[in-house]
Structure 1
Amino acid sequence: MARAGIGGVARAFRSTRRTRTAPAALGRLSHRADICRVLARPRVALARSPPVPARGRALAARAPRAVSGAGERRSRTLPALIVLGILNHTALTGSRVTVSLYALSLGASPFVVGTLMGLYSFLPMWLAIGAGRMSDRVGVRGPMLAGCCGIAVGAVLPRIFPGLPVLFAATSLIGLSFMLFQVGTQHATGALGAPADRPRNFSLLALGYSVSGFTGPLTVGLLIDHASFSATFACLALLPLAPAAVLARGWLALPRKRPANAPATASGVADLLRNRHLRRVFIINGLLSMAWDLHTFFIPIYGANLGLSASLIGVILAAFAAATFVVRLAMPWIARRFAEFEVLTAALFVAGGAYALFPFVASVAPLMMLSFTLGLALGSAQPMVMSLLHSIAPAGRMGEAVGVRMSVINASTFAVPLLFGAIGSSVGIGPVFWLVGAGLAGGGFFARRR
C-alpha cells in the first residue's frame, strides 16, 4: 500500500508538470486555472478553480508574449523605425539641397540662402523641449505622425506655390516637423530592449541616417538635372506618406503616455540640469555637435581658400560621411567592449587632435585622412550619448531629456556658423580650428573625470 501510494503521488506530479509545461512552451498561460491535486485513496481527484482570463492577471503573472501579441510587434519596431527614419531624413536632407539650389535659381543672395538654411533649426531650437514633454505626456505616436504629415506639407508647398517667399514657410515647417518625428523616434528607440541593447540600437538607427544623408542629396541632384524643381519637391513630399500610414495604423509597439505614478515635470528643465550626470552628457553633446557643424561649415571655406575645386571639396566631405557610416557598422562590436564614457572620451581627444592639425595641411589626401578620422570620432559618439541619456534620465521624462539634447543640437547648428564665421573673418580660419581643437581636448578631460 505504501508503495502504491508513493507511485500515485509520482504519477500525479508528472501529470501536473505535463499540464503546466505544454501551455507555457507556447508562450501563454493555460485557460485551465491552477489545478490542485488531492490524494484520495491511491488515485488522484481534481479540484479546479474557475478559469481566470489572462487579461485579468497581473503582468508579472503572465508568460512572455501573453499580452496580445506585443512581443511580435516589439520585435519589428526597431527595423521599422530605422526605415521610417531613412524616408523622413531623406526628405529633410533632400529638401535642404533643393531649397538652396531653387532659391539661387530665383536670384536669391547667399545671405538669403543662409537664412533659409538657418530656419530649419530656428524653431526646433526653441520648441524641442516642449515636444519632448509632449511625447512624455501623450506618447510618441501622435507627435511622430504629426511630424510626418508636416514634412509632407512643407515639401509640397513650393510645388503648389512657386516662388521665393514660400520657401521661408516650407523650411520652417519641415525643420519643426522633422524635430517632432526625431524626438519620438529617439524616445522609442531607447525604450526598446534592455539597457545593454541601447548602444547597438542607437548605432543601427544612426547607420540608417548615414544612408539617408548620402542618398538624399544624390537623389535630388539627379531629379533636378533630369526633371525639374517642381517634380523634385513633389517626390520629396511622397516620402513621408509611408511612415505616416504605418504610424496611423498603429502597427508598431511604441511608448505610450507617462505612467500615472511618474514624477511631474513642473520643475522644468532646470531640474534636469541640476542632475550632474545629465549635465555632463549635455555638455559633451554640445561639444560634439559644435565639432560636427564646424566641419560642415568650414571645410568648404578652407578648401576654397586653398584653391581646391568644388568636386575635390566634395570628396573631402564625402570622406567624413563614409567614416561615420563605417564606424556605425562597427558600433555593436565597440559597445560590447567599451563603456559609453570611454568611447566619448576617445572621440573628443581624437576630434580635438584632428582639428588642431587641419591648418597644417594644404593638399587633398591629408585633408581626406583628417576628415575621415574626424568622421570616425564623431560618428561613434552619437549612439553613446543617446544610450547614456536614456540610462540617466528620470523616469517619465525621457522625452524631455531628448528634447533638451535636440535644442542643444539645433542651437549649435544655428549659432556655430554665425559665431565662428565672425571669428574667422577677423583672425583667420587657422585660429578657429585650434580654438575648437582645444575645446574638444578639454571636453575629453571633462568626460574622463568620474
Structure 2
Amino acid sequence: MPPAGPARRCRGPVTRDDAGVTTRAPAASPQRHVRRRALALLLIGTAVVHTTMFLAKPIVSYRVLALGGSEFDVGAVAAASALLPIFLAIPMGRFSDRGRVPVLLISGGIVLVAGPIGLANVESLLGVGLVNAAYGFGLLALMVAGQAVVVALSEPGEYDRNFGWFTASASLGQMLGPLLGGWVMGASSGPLLADTTTAFLTGSGVAMGALLAYGLVVVVLRGSAAFGPSMPDRGHDGAGRGSALALLRNRQLAVAVFVSFAFISGVDLLIAYLPVFGEHAGLSPSLVGAMLAIRAGLSFVTRLFLDALVRLAGRLMVILVSAAVATATMLAIVVSSGPFMLGTLMVLLGLTLGLGQPLTMTWVVEQAPQQLRATALALRITGNRVAQTTAPALAGGLSGLIGVAGPFVLAAVLLGAAGASVVPFLRSR
C-alpha cells in the first residue's frame, strides 16, 4: 500500500481485521507540550500578522493620496479589503472544518508576504484596490485558520484563556504596526509615493516572520488530529456539512454573533471618529493618538487576564458589564470636556471594548456543532466584516443629522443592545 500523504495521516493508520474489513484508527491528539509549542508559535505569527496588517492599512491611504486619489477613493480602496471576506469567510470556514487548515495557513502567509510587494509596485488606483482586495483575502485565510487552530489546541475549559491570548497577540500587533509604519515613513525623505513603497517593502519583510511561524505550526502539528476534519470519526464527508445560516437558529449563537458585531463596531467607530471629535474639541492629533494608544494597550492587558475574569464572574456577566460600561462611556464622550476627562473615558473603553471579541469566540465555539465550529467562527467573522462596512456609513449619515455626536450615539445604541441581548440567557442559568 503506498504511503499516505499528510492529509491522510491525520486520519490515523489503516488496519484490516480478521474478517478483511478495513478501518482507519483516529489520529492521536497532540500531547500537552506539543500543543503549548504550537500555540506559542501561533501567537507569534498572529502578532506579526497584525503588525503587518496595521502597518499597511494607513500606508494604503497614503499611497492612494500619492497617486492623486480623493478621500472617496481612500474609502473605496479600504472597503475593497473588507468586502471579499463578507462572501468568502463562510466557505473558508467549511474548508477549515474539512481538515484544510494547513492550506489556509501557508497560502495566507504567502499572500501576507506578497501583498505588500504588490502594493509597492502598482501605480494606479484600480491596481491598489485590486491588490488590497487580494491582500484582504489572505488575511481572512489566516484569521479563519488561526481561530480553528486555537479550537483544536484547547481543552473545553481552556477556550477563554487561549482565545484571550490569541486576541491579545493581535492587539500587540495593532499597536506595533502603526508605530513601525510611522517610523519608516518619518525616516524616509523622498516623495510620498516612494516613502509608501519603502514602508510596504518593510511590511513584506516583517511578514516573513509570520510565514515562518505558521510553517512551524504546520510542522509541529503534522499528522495529529489537530489538522484533521472536525469530525474525524465521520470522515471528510461529515465535516463541514450543514447550512451556515441554520446555525443562527441557535439563539445563543445568533446573539454571540450580534455581540461581536456591536463590539467591533464600537472599536471601529471610536478609531474613525475620535480624531473628528478631537478636531472639534481643539485637541491635537498627537494627543488623540495617545488616547487611542491607551485604549489599545489596556485592551491588550485585559485580554491576558480574560480567563481569570470569566472564572470570577462568568462569561455572560463579563459581557453584560463590559457592554454596559462601554455604552455609558460612549455617551459620556459626547459631553466630555478637556483631555483629562476624555483620557479617563479611554481607560474605561480600554478595559471593556477588548473583551467582546475573545468572549464571543468561545461562546460561538461552545454553541456550534463540533463539525461546524470553524464555519460558525467564520460566520462571526462575516458579521464583523458587515459591521466594518456598514457602521461607518451609518455613522456618517447620523453625523449629518446630529453632528459629531452621531457616531458615539450609534456605538452606544449597538453596545447597549448587545448587553440587553445577553440578559435572557443570564436569567435562564
TM-score by length of 1: 0.81
Instruction: Spell out, residue by residue over 1:218-252, the C-alpha distance to the aligned partner (whole angstroms, 9 max, x if none).
Output: 11111122233222211211233333345446323
- Within the candidate set 27, 51, 54, 1:90 is matched to 51
- Residue 14 (structure 2) aligns with: none
Q: 2:169 and 2:276 mapped to 1: Cα distance?
A: 29
State, as a whole percentage, how many aligned pairs show the same letter: 25
2:317 partner amino acid: E
Contact 2:41/2:214 (CA < 8 Å) preserved in 1? no
Shift of 1:428: 1.7
Larger displacement relative to structure 2 (116-125 or 245-254): 245-254
- Within the candidate set 211, 216, 219, 1:251 is matched to 219
Shift of 1:68: 9.9
- Within the candidate set 186, 205, 211, 1:225 is matched to 186
- Within the candidate set 261, 285, 309, 2:234 is matched to 261
- Residue 10 (structure 2) aligns with: none
The within-5 A match list for 1:25-40 is none
- Residue 235 (structure 1) aligns with: 202
Change in 2 beyond 3 A, CA 1:276/1:229:
same
Instruction: Spell out, residue by residue over 1:401-423, the C-alpha distance to the aligned partner (whole angstroms, 9 max, x if none).
Output: 11101111111111111111111
Q: 1:245 and 1:81 mapped to 2: Cα distance?
A: 10
- Within the candidate set 294, 306, 327, 1:331 is matched to 306
Q: 2:29 and 2:355 mapped to 1: Cα distance?
A: 37
Q: Secondary structure at the match of 2:68?
A: coil
Larger displacement relative to structure 2 (90-99 or 423-432): 423-432
- Residue 96 (structure 2) aligns with: 135
Tell me if 1:359 matches 2:334: yes
Computing the radius of gyration over CA atoms, which structure comes out larger, 1 or 2?
1
**Aligned residue pair count:** 389
Contact 1:92/1:174 (CA < 8 Å) preserved in 2? no
Q: Secondary structure at the match of 2:220?
A: coil
Contact 2:45/2:214 (CA < 8 Å) preserved in 1? no
Q: Secondary structure at the match of 1:96?
A: helix
Q: 2:209 and 2:414 mapped to 1: Cα distance?
A: 42
Change in 2 beyond 3 A, CA 1:59/1:413:
closer
Contact 1:223/1:232 (CA < 8 Å) preserved in 2? yes
The within-5 A match list for 1:236-315 is 236-248=203-215, 250-253=218-221, 254-258=226-230, 259-261=232-234, 263=238, 265=240, 267-315=242-290
Q: 1:133 and 1:443 mapped to 2: Cα distance?
A: 27
Q: Secondary structure at the match of 2:234?
A: coil
1:230 partner amino acid: T
The within-5 A match list for 1:13-412 is 70-227=31-188, 228-248=195-215, 250-253=218-221, 254-258=226-230, 259-261=232-234, 263=238, 265=240, 267-412=242-387
Contact 1:78/1:192 (CA < 8 Å) preserved in 2? yes
Contact 1:152/1:240 (CA < 8 Å) preserved in 2? yes
Contact 1:343/1:381 (CA < 8 Å) preserved in 2? no
Instruction: Spell out, residue by residue over 1:99-144, the C-alpha distance to the aligned partner (whole angstroms, 9 max, x if none).
Output: 1122223332111111121122111122111111111123311112
Contact 1:121/1:175 (CA < 8 Å) preserved in 2? yes
Q: 2:116 and 2:144 mapped to 1: Cα distance?
A: 20
1:220 partner amino acid: G
Shift of 1:69: 7.2
1:441 partner amino acid: G
- Residue 45 (structure 1) aligns with: none
Instruction: Spell out, residue by residue over 1:31-62, the C-alpha distance to the aligned partner (whole angstroms, 9 max, x if none).
Output: xxxxxxxxxxxxxxxxxxxxxxxxx99779xx
1:242 partner amino acid: G
- Residue 15 (structure 1) aligns with: none
Q: 1:418 and 1:289 mapped to 2: Cα distance?
A: 15
Q: 2:415 and 2:327 mapped to 1: Cα distance?
A: 5
Q: Which runs of 5+ in 2 are unaligned?
A: 1-22, 189-194
Instruction: Spell out, residue by residue over 1:283-315, the C-alpha distance to the aligned partner (whole angstroms, 9 max, x if none).
Output: 211111221121112211111122222112212
Contact 1:140/1:255 (CA < 8 Å) preserved in 2? yes
Contact 2:334/2:408 (CA < 8 Å) preserved in 1? yes
Instruction: Spell out, residue by residue over 1:378-428, the C-alpha distance to the aligned partner (whole angstroms, 9 max, x if none).
Output: 112222111111111101111111110111111111111111111111222
Change in 2 beyond 3 A, CA 1:408/1:268:
same
Shift of 1:266: 5.0
1:413 partner amino acid: Q
Shift of 1:326: 2.3
Shift of 1:435: 4.3
Q: Secondary structure at the match of 2:228?
A: coil
Q: 1:162 and 1:200 mapped to 2: Cα distance?
A: 44
Q: Secondary structure at the match of 1:108?
A: coil
Q: Which runs of 5+ in 1 are unaligned?
A: 1-55, 61-66
Q: 1:70 and 1:280 mapped to 2: Cα distance?
A: 34
Per residue, is there more helix in 1 or in 2? Answer: 2
Q: 2:419 and 2:39 mapped to 1: Cα distance?
A: 31
Contact 1:136/1:400 (CA < 8 Å) preserved in 2? yes
2:234 partner amino acid: N
Q: 1:247 and 1:78 mapped to 2: Cα distance?
A: 10
2:220 partner amino acid: L
Q: 2:399 and 2:324 mapped to 1: Cα distance?
A: 23
Change in 2 beyond 3 A, CA 1:247/1:326:
closer
The within-5 A match list for 1:432-447 is 432-447=407-422
Change in 2 beyond 3 A, CA 1:213/1:247:
closer
Q: 1:88 and 1:268 mapped to 2: Cα distance?
A: 30
TM-score by length of 2: 0.85
Instruction: Spell out, residue by residue over 1:300-336, the C-alpha distance to the aligned partner (whole angstroms, 9 max, x if none).
Output: 1111122222112212212211221221232232133
